[in-house]
Amino acid sequence: MSTFGLGIVKRNFWYLLLTILLFPLVGVLIALFPPTAVALVGLFGGVLLFILPIEAVMLIAIGLAPLSSLFIVKVGIFDFRFVQVLWLIVFARKVIQTLVENRSFRLPRTDIWKPMVLLALAALLSTIISKQPQISTKEFVQLIYLFILFFTIATSFNQINLLIKASSVLVIATLIVSIIGLVTIYLGVSAIPTIEVDLLNNVHVNMDFANITYSYTVEGFKVIRLQSVNLSSVATAAFLTQIILLVVSLFWFNDSNGFKINKIFYGIVLILSSYAWFLTNSRAAMVSLFILLFFAIVISGRRRNIGIIFVLVFLVVLIGAPSFSRLKDSFILEASTNPGHIALWYEAVKLFVRNSLFGIGIGMFPVIVTDYLWFQNIQTYTSGLNDVHNMFLKTAAEMGVLGLGALIWFFYIFLKDLWNSYQHSKGQTQSAIILGFFLAACAGVLMNLTANIFAKEYTWTIWGLAYAAALISTNIEPLPSASEQPNSRTAV
């Protein structure tokens, strides 16, 4: 019987220790000993990462996905995160190994690469015509990196055991994110600082412990919105929503088809992450979670659990009046920040109509929209924010019809392949994890309708693991029992 749970901590202690400590440790060394430490840490770290087993590096990078904003190195207009270096090293090792073994490099046979290439082409064309190419170039490079990240994860986790390990590391990272977020609420300031090193400004080091919580009053209640590990409240909610759906799926399939989880450990993670998710007060997260929980109950055949949805809604109404009020605002055009969202969407549509072929340039919406008088008149509704809050409209405005078509095509193939993989895996022990990643991916796509989490590291990490499940689902074999495995149990 295969078990999800604390086994991964026992067997991968050093991987997890590195995941938790290596990232901030590097930042602290550079903060205390610039600029010598930059060269020494870079040299030593690079050699170490090429010596470590590739699986260890990948697990470290997976665990760091929601923590990527804690240490940033700036070089001019570009900024680099430690986790980016990890994935680029994994990608380089993967390419070199493939070339040495096969003397050629081929992509797995799937249609997902076609819309990604088309989207990259649309981004390149929009960069060429951009009025501020330095901004668009930065965004274009970031998009290419996210594609490399997606490809590396989707093709590297090509065994179900690796996928199970990665899922467990993500769950542990969720526990860390939840605890840090709840501590932040208690302290009122960031529990962990952002360490930012500017290499072109005399190695300037900035350690930001700024107040990252904010509050407002709803129907007489003071509401504090949780933000964790230097992610915004919406980004925190988006990450937690996706992992909660994954964990719920694992719970539903517990004790079926030889599948078992550690209920105590996963129960703690689910309770703490759900509480942290509740405090983010994100309307997009609330709607996405309720819709997908209902959908999951229907497609998994567990219709008797539909009552869970009604219990959750009842609890929100009974003990979470501010959250219920905010959820209700989602369907009232004049409520809360909705006028600001509508204004931003309207501006994106106007820019798309005026520049329908190639757009205004990737990353240029925040620059151009602030020149519009109508937008300036409604800034009180948006608190001065000028992000589109809709990935599809953002892509349409910045990359034109070519980019919008490529994005829709990408999501269509992505979700279709995930759904087919779940259908193929029904009755197998692996169907729980595949359903969980399918639901998590759907949540990520849904939340991009009213928020922009498309460029977040954790989004593409989860999507990469989800697509890895799709790629291996056509070749699913039952997991070996504990007695059949050579050195250790499959228990994770």
Return the pLDDT at 15.
Answer: 52
Contact 401, 393 (CB under 8 A): no
Q: How far apart are CA 49 and CA 27, in angstroms?
A: 17
Token pair, residue 65, equals 């996905």
Higher pLDDT, 34 or 356: 356
Burial of 52 (0-12, 13-18, 19+ CB in 10 A): middle
Return the pLDDT at 492.
Answer: 36
Q: pLDDT tier at 74 (50, 70, 90 boundaries)? A: confident
Please measure the distance between the N-terminal and C-terminal CA atoms of the chain and give it in whole angstroms.
Answer: 11
Q: How far apart are CA 464 and CA 194, in angstroms?
A: 26
Higher pLDDT, 316 or 139: 139
Q: How far apart are CA 438 and CA 248, in angstroms?
A: 12
Q: How far apart are CA 109 and CA 112, in angstroms?
A: 9
Q: How far apart are CA 380 and CA 366, in angstroms?
A: 16
204-208 and 194-198 beta bridge pairing: antiparallel
List the one residue out of 185, 29, 130, 190 whose CA is nearest residue 359. Answer: 130
Highest mean pLDDT among 90-104, 364-378, 432-446 belongs to 432-446
Mean pLDDT of 74-81: 74
pLDDT at 18 over 70: no
Return the pLDDT at 484.
Answer: 39
Q: What is the mean pLDDT of the chain?
A: 75
pLDDT more than 90, % of the chain: 19
pLDDT at 6 over 70: no
Instruction: Summarize pLDDT for 299-329 with one digit per residue, the tens.
Output: 776 666 666 666 666 665 555 656 666 666 6
Q: pLDDT tier at 488 (50, 70, 90 boundaries)? A: very low
Return the pLDDT at 480.
Answer: 39
Contact 327, 282 (CB under 8 A): no
Q: pLDDT tier at 144 (50, 70, 90 boundaries)? A: very high
Contact 381, 336 (CB under 8 A): no
Q: pLDDT tier at 481 (50, 70, 90 boundaries)? A: very low
Which amino acid appears at position 12 of this protein?
N
Higher pLDDT, 252 or 114: 114
List the one residue out of 110, 67, 104, 108 whose CA is nearest residue 86. Answer: 67
Beta carbons within 8 Å of 260's beta carbon, 6+ residues apart: 1, 2, 3, 4, 254
Higher pLDDT, 11 or 484: 11
Highest mean pLDDT among 22-31, 189-198, 432-441 belongs to 432-441
Q: What is the DSSP letter of 478?
A: P
Return the pLDDT at 244.
Answer: 92
Return the pLDDT at 282.
Answer: 82
Instruction: Summarize pLDDT for 201-217 with one digit per residue, the tens.
Output: 654 554 555 545 556 55
Mean pLDDT of 378-392: 66
Q: pLDDT tier at 239 (50, 70, 90 boundaries)? A: very high
Q: How far apart are CA 191 and CA 179, in angstroms?
A: 10
Q: How far apart are CA 72 and CA 75, in angstroms?
A: 10
Instruction: Summarize pLDDT for 435-470 with one digit per residue, the tens.
Output: 889 999 999 999 988 877 888 889 999 999 999 988
Burial of 71-99, coded b for 16+ CB within 10 Å and e otherwise, reads bbbbeeeebbbbbbbbbbbbbebbeeeee
